[in-house]
Every structure is written in C-alpha cells, then in structure tokens.
Chain A
Amino acid sequence: MRRLLALLGAGLRQNFALATIRHKFFKQKQERWLLLLFALGLLGAAPLVVGYFIVLGRLYAILKPMGQETALLTLAILAGQLLILVFGLFYVLSAFYFSRDLEFLVALPARPFEVIAAKFGVILVNEYLTVLLVVAPAFIVYGAMAARPIAYWPLAALVFLLLPVIPLALSGLLVMAMMRLVNVSRKKDFFILAGSLALLAAVLFLQLGLAGTRGPEEMMRFFTAADGLARLLGEKFPPCIWAARLLAEGFSARGIGYLILFGGISVAVLLLLLWAAERLFYRGLIGLSEMAARRTKLSAAALAERFARRRHDWQAILLREWRLMNRTPIFLLNGILSVVLVPVMLFFMVRSGAGSASLAFLKLLGSGDRSAEILFSAAFFIACGCLNGTASSTFSREGSSFWISKVIPVAPCRQVAGKFLHSYLVAVLGVLGGMAAARLALGLSWQSVLPAALLALVAGAFLTAINMAVDLARPLLTWTNPQRAIKQNLNVLLAMALDAGFVYAFYRLFVILRRAGLDGRQLILAMLAATALAAAAALFFLGRIAARRYARIAA
C-alpha cells in the first residue's frame, strides 16, 4: 500500500508539475503573470457557469410538474460519464502505454496492478476536474431546488467521487485488451490507431443509440411514468440511473440499495481492472516501443534518389509538421481525425434522428433566412476546422526537440509560416468535412454552403494565427507523454475559449450589421471584409512576435 501511495504521489506531482510550479512561481519568481492570466481565465468562464446554472434551474422547473425532476440528475451524470468514456479512451491509452515514465516504472519493484492503480488515480483526479463543471452544478441545482435534506450533500459528494470510476475502468479494460492483441503485431502504430477508432466507434454507437427513434406511444409511456424520463436517458448505461436514484432516495432503504449497487459495481469494475492489469498490462506494454524496422541497406542510387529534391525552408518545416503530427497516434486523433470526426458524427446523428441540438439546428436553418443560414453554417464550419488542438499545440508538440528549431538558420517568421500552413491545412480539411456534412446530412444548398465556406476559410486563417500565438506565448515543451502536449495543454483550452469568443463576436457583428440595414450579399461581403481584416492583423501580429518569442523560449 505504501508503494502504491508513493507511486500515486509521484504521478500526481508529475502530472500537475507541482515542483515546477513551486520552483518557477515561488523560488525563481518568474512568469507570475500566468497566475493572473489563470485567474482571468476563470473569471472569463464565470458567465458560462452562471448561464449553465440558470439553464439547469429552468430545466428543473419544467421537469418538476411532470414528476421527472430526477432526469436532471440522470442527464448530468450520463453526460459526465459519456464524456469520460469517449475522451477517457485516449487518455487511458496514452497514460497506460505511451508516457515516457513507463520504462522507469516497469523497472521498479512494483506489481503491474500497483502501476496501473497509480496511473488510474492520476487520471481519476484529472477527470474530476473535467466533469466538475458538467455534473456539480446539476447536483447543486437539484439539491437546492428540491430542498433536499442535509444528508443529500455528502451523498452527492460520494456520487461525484465514484462517477468516473466505472467509465474509466471500462476504458482501461478495453484498452488493455486491445493493446495485448496489438502488441503481437509488427505494425503496432497502425493497429493502435485502428483499434482506438474501432473502440471510439463502438462508444459513439452506444451514445447515438441512446436517443434512438421511438414510437410516440412508447415515448408517452416514458413521460407519464414517474421517473420515466430518467429511465429513458439512462437505460443504455444503467449506472447513471442507480446514481441518480441514490441521490433522489437518500438514506432510505431503496437509497441504500442503490448505494450498494452503484458503489459495489464501481469497486467491482475497479478490482476487475486491477486483476486484468496483473495479467495483461506488461504483456501489452513490454516491447511496445520496439517498432518494426526494415533494416534494409539502400543502394547508392536509391540513396541519391531520396536526396534528389531540395525544398524551401518553409516547405521543409511544413513537411516535418505534417509527418510528426500524423505519425504520432495521439496527435493524429486530436488533429485530422477530430476534424473528420465532427462532420461524421453530425451526419450519423442527423441520419439516426438522434441529437436534439442538430434537429434544432436543422429547424433554424430551415427558417428560410439565407443570411442566417450562411452565418450559422459558417460558424459550424469554423467549429469543424478550428476546434481542435492542431494550431494551439504547434510549438508544444515539438517538446524536447525544440532546440532544433532554435539552432537552424531559418528565421522564426519563416518557421511560423510553415507551421501556419500545416495548421491551416487541417482547418481547411475540417471546413471541407463540414461542407460535406452540410450538403449530405442537412441538405443545404450550394448557394448557402459556398459563401459560408469562404467565410469559414477566412475566419480559419484568423483563428489559426491566434491559436498559434497562444501556444507561442508559453509553449509546453517539458512533456513526457504526448497526451500532455495536446490534450492536457492549457494553451489548447485557452485557444478554444478564444475561438468560442470569436464565434460569439462573429454573431454579434452579424446582428449589428443587420440592424444597420445590411442584408443578403452586402451583409455577407461586409462580414467577409471584417474577418479578412482581422485575419491579416492576426497574421501580422504572429509574424511580429515570432522572432522575439523564439529568442526567449528556453529549450
């Protein structure tokens, strides 16, 4: 137990870079402005959180007269657990099999289950932070509006603590089984990618199946039965129902029954994970870094042919970025694959009739207002192209190899140009995917799709430049696990918040221009001109700061 706690403590300190934070902020007293930036970021998120509380309050008020208020809890728990299940897959894969501390951990006199338990603990703490904003407000709103007794609150805390255990442990079991199979192959990278996508597809299938089409009579039965909506929401993932009922019933006999069920299954799945770790973990891990090597000597002629082409420096940087991004499974999943995934998900959601958001979107688009249709399509294309970590981790992804960028005789602004082209290329692919989904799934006309795509492409240039600037301001180069460079990188989150702010500003500009009397082609051209101006300014700014920042980044 002492060894497990030591491993867990070291893992948490490494994950949150506690030693670095203490050293930098309190010993070296450097970059203390980051603390202020962090506080400002929290402050910036405050309106969103308040808005979420208001929405939940209104939802409760709607559900209460129908006797369906428990659905609020089920919905929040389900959202939190699915979030963990989908994103947890890659997180678990990365932490269990691709972090650089593994070679060190494997050599320690620790049992496989202890290593896994420590890593699981670190992931768990991270997941608490991820789902805190989704789940905790629902628990608070329900507790306050239903005037629950005092015993509700410790139970709510317990449910919150147990919440990520089942989905994370399931992710861990799936990943360990997959890696055990993959590690016998010579083409591990390919199978890891293929396996991860298959797991993700399975999870998405489950998610899409949740709101599958039902007949009106069946739906009515769910709504008229007490707690029926909660059952409808949670039926594909019963732990959500158990947790919600546990909170609704409190310490009654039924409540204790749900506590035993939910807590017992959580502990059982965790124990199953640790049991499987003893049998599968090292077999899937050992030899994983040994990639297939051809070891074939090239002839002088073949070698000359490989060196026959000379590229410009910016082309060399672009090619390097493309190769490094697409050959690192974690980067690929968060880059090109994520921009492809969003339109594909939309397509299947609309086709399966699931997803009230997409249906509402359809309704809005079907209102016959062409300008609004173009604007909302553009916003969707922007989300498809830019809401990924490609641009906002472009410097961080270089990690400990950043010294190369500092010593090569290529001006920082030219290096940044190569990186911009790479990130923008990914954004363009996202816009193209969004266009395909808009045409095929939503049935939008080319008259709407083309101007929207043009707007999105220009906005994409602006956002790519801004997202790169965020990462350039403070790149995370000290990562030992590629997941940290892109998925757990604060720069990526900050950039996404900026992107969301831009989309809102984009909408406000639309409203202002419309109130000023512009409409139709004039309105779209004015939006295009304003976005192009912003993009030019952002690119100019990025070019200006590149040299100064490159000189200051310690590698």
Chain B
Amino acid sequence: MIELKNVCKSYNKGAVRAVDDLTLTVPPGEIFGFLGPNGAGKTTTIKMIVGILAPDSGAIAIAGRDNRREPLACKAVTAYVPDEPEIYERLTGLEYLNFIADVYGVPARERGERSRRWLEAFELAAVAADPIQTYSHGMRQKIVLTGALLVEPRVFVLDEPMTGLDPRSAHHLKEAMRAHCDRGGTLFFSTHVMEVAEKFCDRLAIIHKGRLAACGTLEELRRQAGDSGSLEKIFLETTGS
C-alpha cells in the first residue's frame, strides 16, 4: 500500500542528508510504526509520503500509484495528521470538518453520522460548534484526527498522533486504527512512545541519521539486534552512535 524506493532528501544543497536511500514497503492491513531519535528524518519521510515535500531522488507509491505522477489519486486515498495541529483557528470545528468532507468528496448523508461518532468518541461534541481558537492543544489534535477519520481513507499517515491525547482518546484511536487495518487499510505512524510501538504495531522501522537502521516485526528486530530485550533497549542500541 505504501512503497518507498531509494528515497533521498537533503537540505542545504546536499550538506544535510535528512533521508538517505530509504526503501520500505508497508502492505495493506498493516500497522507500521516508524521510530527514530529527534532529527533522524521521520517527519521528512512522512511529509514526502503525503506530498508536502518532494524527494530529491527515488520514488514513493501509495496504493500502487506514484505520488508525484498522480498526486491527486494518492491524496484521495490518504489522510494525514501532523505532529503539530496547525489548522484554521477562525473556523469552528464543524466548519473545519465540513471543509475536509467537501474537499475529500465525502457524501453528505455519511459525513453527519461519521462526524457524530468520532466527535462523541473524542468528547468534542459539546465544542464542535465553537471556534477552533477556543480549543486546547489536545482538542485541536482530536479535531484533526476526526477530520482524518471522517474521510475513511485507505491509508492513514499519522505523525506522533498520541502526543497530547488523553488516555481515553488514545484508546479510541488505537481501536479505530486496528479495525481499519483489519479491514485491509494501512497505518503508517511515527512515535516516541516505545510501549505503544511495541504493543500496537505489526511491524516497525527504526531510522537513524536518515538511514534505515532496522526493520521488521518485534521478533525480527530482536533477532537483528541479537538481543531479546525490550524495544526501548533495541532502539537505544540501534541508535546509540
């Protein structure tokens, strides 16, 4: 469902290699956790997958389509939630959701039901008609997630989605993502929370200094590292230098 082939991205005219020859495949039905220290290239990779940044070389395909040759087809099946919920503060939550539903072409009869379900789950129903400006950081994160869930895309790309979420909302999100992948969808997400990655992901990748340092199921990572310890220990060893 998501395929990265020899993807490279550098800044400062090549002086800083943010992503270096990254090759990854995330098949349908999989929850894929993307780990790495700060500045390792996680957000750059995610931004290239969703089309915010263009890779210097290599190719990225979503649902079998090249995201640079057919960007609209790729965007139509992908929902993205950034690490910082920078959205239109002067719109109300409902107006934002209606905007997202309009641009993704969600049918009118379905958007009401889907919105209600997720607004209730994230405890936003009472504030949905208020301006986003009045929301806390966590509430903004949840309205962006509601917008993404409203679309019901085939691919979710979430950049540190648990940051700022209360435990109940994090639980609902994990359940929703599990159900989504069980239906054949794909979730690609980055996180710094090792416990979440360990328990929640089908497969994991660790990126370090722009290069893929390890990739596989937790068992495979343990074998690659020659260590039967926790994911945190493997992570620290893999990214130690």
**A residues whose Cβ falls under 8 Å from a Cβ of B:** 27-30, 289-298, 300, 303-304, 306-313, 315-317, 319-320, 323-324, 327-328, 399-401, 403-404, 406-411, 551-552, 554-555
Contact = CB atoms under 8 A, between A and B. Distances in A.
Closest 10 A-B residue pairs measured CB to CB? A316-B102, A409-B75, A307-B112, A327-B90, A304-B112, A409-B76, A293-B134, A400-B86, A293-B130, A310-B108
Given A291-B133, A295-B126, A310 B102 contact: yes
A401 B86 contact: yes
A297 B126 contact: yes
A307 B130 contact: no
B153 to A, nearest CB: 10
11 contacts: A30-B13, A293-B127, A296-B129, A298-B94, A303-B125, A304-B116, A306-B94, A307-B112, A407-B75, A409-B72, A554-B53
Nearest to B86: A400
Contacts of B125: 297-298, 303
Nearest to A27: B12
A300 B102 contact: no
Nearest to B106: A310
Nearest to A289: B133
Interface string B32-66: 00000000000000000011111000000000000
A406 B51 contact: yes
A232 to B, nearest CB: 46
Contact of B78 (A289, A294, A407, A410): A407
A307 B76 contact: no
B88 A303 contact: no
A403 B90 contact: no
Contacts, number: 126
A551 B67 CA distance: 11
Given A324-B90, A401-B86, A407 B111 contact: no
Given A28-B13, A296-B129, A319-B99, 7 more contacts: A291-B131, A304-B112, A310-B105, A310-B111, A312-B102, A313-B105, A409-B75
Contacts of B11: 28
A130 B181 CA distance: 58
B126 A296 contact: yes
A411 B72 contact: yes
A442 B104 CA distance: 50
Interface of B: 11-13, 50-54, 71-73, 75-76, 78, 80, 82, 84, 86-88, 90-91, 94-95, 97-108, 111-113, 115-116, 119, 125-131, 133-134
Contacts of B101: 307, 310
B162 to A, nearest CB: 20
B161 to A, nearest CB: 15
Contact of B108 (A300, A309, A410): A309
Contacts of B13: 28-30
A328 B13 CA distance: 38
A306 B133 contact: no
Contacts of B133: 289, 291
Contacts of A323: 90-91, 95
Contact of B91 (A29, A291, A294, A324): A324
Nearest to B11: A28
Contact of A303 (B71, B73, B112): B112
A187 to B, nearest CB: 12
Nearest to A304: B112
A319 B128 CA distance: 18
A303 B116 contact: yes
A399 B103 CA distance: 19
A323 B95 CA distance: 10
Contacts of B119: 303
Given A289-B133, A320-B99, A400-B86, A308 B108 contact: yes
Nearest to B131: A291
Contacts of A317: 103
Contact of A403 (B72, B82, B112, B113): B82
Given A307-B111, A551-B54, A290 B103 contact: no
A291 B129 CA distance: 13
Contacts of A401: 86-88
A310 B72 contact: no
A407 B50 contact: yes
Contacts of B86: 399-401, 403
Contacts of B12: 27-28
A407 B107 contact: no
B75 A311 contact: no
B195 to A, nearest CB: 29
B112 to A, nearest CB: 4
A409 B104 contact: yes
B75 A306 contact: no
Contacts of B127: 293, 295
Given A27-B12, A323-B90, A324-B91, A306 B104 contact: no
B115 to A, nearest CB: 6
Given A298-B128, A400-B86, A406 B52 contact: yes
A409 B53 CA distance: 15
Contacts of B115: 303, 307
A52 B16 CA distance: 49
B107 A310 contact: yes
Q: Name the residue in A297, A319, A554, A555 with the highest tally of chain B Cβ atoms < 10 Å from its Cβ.
A: A297
Contacts of A399: 86
Contacts of A551: 54, 71
A404 B87 contact: yes
Nearest to A24: B12
Contacts of A290: 134
A306 B71 CA distance: 30
A296 B75 CA distance: 34
Nearest to A306: B94
B124 to A, nearest CB: 10
